[in-house]
Chains A and B, each alone.
Chain A
Amino acid sequence: MVLRLLHRAMVFVLSVLAASVLVFAFMRVLPGDPARVALGINASDESVAALREQFGLDRPVVVQYLDWMRGMLTLDPGIEFISKAAIGPQIADRLQVTLILVAASMLLAVVVAVPVGIWMAVRHRHVDGVLMSAASQVGVAIPAFLAGIVLISVFAVRLGWVPSGGWVVPAQDPVGFLQRIVLPSIALAGVQAAVLARYVRSAVLDVLREDYLRTARAKGLRPVQALWRHGLRNAAVPVVTVLGLQLATLLVGAVVIERVFVIPGLGSLLLDSVAQREILTVQTVVMVLVVATLLITFLVDALYLVIDPRLRTGSR
């Protein structure tokens, strides 16, 4: 089991390295040199040369890459080309906001989808189960940004229950924080909950047909007890896979939703940096998103080992 974890950890580290090379390379193969791109067409040759020298852009590419990597590993990726603001603290602030948003959405999705999915599976022959299943099918098709806009127009504009957007730090104003996070979380969680519920449903349906569930009944457990004690852990394996994918999707989805709800998260930072041609910032934010996604994959792999003992040993 330790070997397997080490193996997965190695895969994680190598993936991060490969991704960093790709991200760095993409930024460098953009036409023109980064300093020119950053300063714009009208910049004088002197100012471009000055920027190149200041940020070491005249050094060999490999040295620049290693320099960037060192900055990332020491959690100090440097300062922005134009505004000269430190990139590290900005990302830290924005990441916090995005993580809160993503965590809230994921939590919401799980809390709704797991019971609903189980219910749909157990009642799959009954009208209510089929109706819920149909509703979830529709939910799958609603994009997050559309849900966000509809939620704003109904609950913020028409009913005026909550602000239409913005952000406050939870510690400073818990009520204001909750008021502002509820709509974007619902918008982000909606599709995910619908998708997740369908996966939970099919996983539980599969488990309900398993022989060991009949054994559990034969031991004297009632159907719900048998599902609870013997079914859910087994159903969790495929569901965890989907959860991992969904977390990654949520990170990306947050970029859009932060725009819709004017939330100062990582997504907003990324889009702002693109607009202002802060190449180093863009590069670093993309890298942070990539690492987060790979980390989720690694954690999901580790979670498999905890859930399913069959995966711990070499053979299946």
Chain B
Amino acid sequence: MSDTAGRTVLAVEGLDVGAGHTPLLHDVSFSIARGERVGLIGESGSGKSLTALAVMGLLGEGLHARGDVRLSGRTPATRNLLEVGEAEMARLRGDAVSMVFQEPMTALNPTMRVGAQVAEVMRIHGTRDRAGARARAVELLDQVGLPDVAHLARSYPHELSGGQRQRVVLAIALANDPALLICDEPTTALDVTVQATVLDLVVRGVQERDAAMLFITHDLAVVATVCERVLVMYGGRVVEAGPVEQVFADPRHRYTQGLIGASDLTGEQGRRQRAALPTIPGTVPAAGRFPSGCVFRSRCAHETAECATQPGWTPRGAGRVEGPGRAPGGDTQDEGAAGYACFHPAGDAA
């Protein structure tokens, strides 16, 4: 590990997830430093949520993960989280790493007052005593911009709106000042008018704590406003990664190119030029039905015979890496997060 290791909060290396003999995630690798906000984008079924759940150790029954996941929160990352037991994982969850889920309407216990639900996460990890947790819960609810918190803390979830409930979920996630916050489409289910406010709260909460964030979304505009770096997933693989401006302005992987073309990032001018937004042809195959080699080739206009083998990882700015395997050179790996896995990248003289 290089000297940046001290700042690395989450390091995922060669993560594979499968259900029985069906592979769902393949060789997913990335790392997030303290204070860094990383977006994870891709269509539904590309493996974004699965990646998050694997990191949290919350994969459903029947799913198994292999690889190396390390988290340095209060304690340095000495152990692979995929190998520690449920007891130790439970100690980390809600404390060193916490998560905000997509659907705020069902994420809270309907029979428990929201203040108590926030206080509980502090009681579980013993970070506060009973009275302290209760007082802190009210403070946290106030920090996520909820009104009349003393009264609101005694409400039940069904008395709050979706946006308010998502704020409560965020308050729970931030209560123990996690080193890593994972957000899985936290604003997708919310009204457009509320989205911006909640996003702002998420970013502010993370910044105040100098926490790392993994932000899952399929909304590229959200990634552009919230994140500094982005990972593009398709077919259970990370196909491209890099700083947000670079990837969005100059996508290399053909899938990224399609994804950006299909979204509305180009603004007013782009909109006037064409009647309808282009789409990526075809649909995401079912799990386990992705083609061998480049997972995107079944939908790619640039497919050649070469694509039947797994494309290697090409760091941005470097020449093409031949054959399967990862980019050579350990140290470039840090920046190296910036790169792509494509034989016929866009932008280059391809």
Residues of A within 8 A of B (CB): 125, 210-212, 214-223, 229-230, 233-234, 307-310, 313, 316
Contacts and interface: CB of A to CB of B under 8 A. Distances in A.
Contact of B111 (A218, A221, A223, A307): A307
Contacts of A220: 90-95, 121, 124-125
B110 A308 contact: yes
B93 A219 contact: yes
B87 interface: yes
5 contacts: A218-B173, A220-B125, A222-B86, A222-B90, A309-B156
Contacts of A233: 111
B94 A211 contact: no
B139 interface: no
B309 interface: no
Interface stretch (B26-34, B39-47, B101-109): B101-109
B73 to A, nearest CB: 13
Interface in B102-145: 103, 106-112, 120-121, 124-125
A239 to B, nearest CB: 14
B158 interface: yes
B247 interface: no
Given A212-B107, A309-B158, 20 more contacts: A212-B109, A214-B101, A215-B107, A217-B93, A218-B99, A218-B173, A219-B120, A220-B92, A220-B121, A220-B125, A221-B124, A222-B86, A222-B87, A222-B90, A229-B120, A230-B109, A308-B110, A310-B110, A310-B156, A313-B159
For A215, A218, A313, the residue with the greatest tally of chain B CB atoms inside 10 Å of its CB is: A218
Nearest to B103: A211
Q: For chain B, which range describes its interface: under 10, 10 to 19, 20 to 34, or 35 or more residues?
A: 20 to 34
Contacts of A223: 86
B172 interface: yes
Contacts of B98: 218-219
Q: Is the interface of A mostly helix, strand, loop or mixed?
A: helix
A307 B158 CA distance: 14
Nearest to A308: B111
Contacts of B101: 211, 214-215, 218
Would you list the 6 A-B pairs with minimal beta carbon distance, nearest first?
A220-B94, A219-B94, A211-B106, A309-B156, A219-B121, A220-B93
Interface centre among B108, B111, B125 (most CB of A within 10 A): B111
B231 interface: no
Nearest to B92: A220
Nearest to B105: A211
B111 A309 contact: yes
A65 to B, nearest CB: 45
Contacts of A308: 110-111
Contacts of A217: 58, 90, 93
A219 B111 contact: no
A210 B93 CA distance: 18
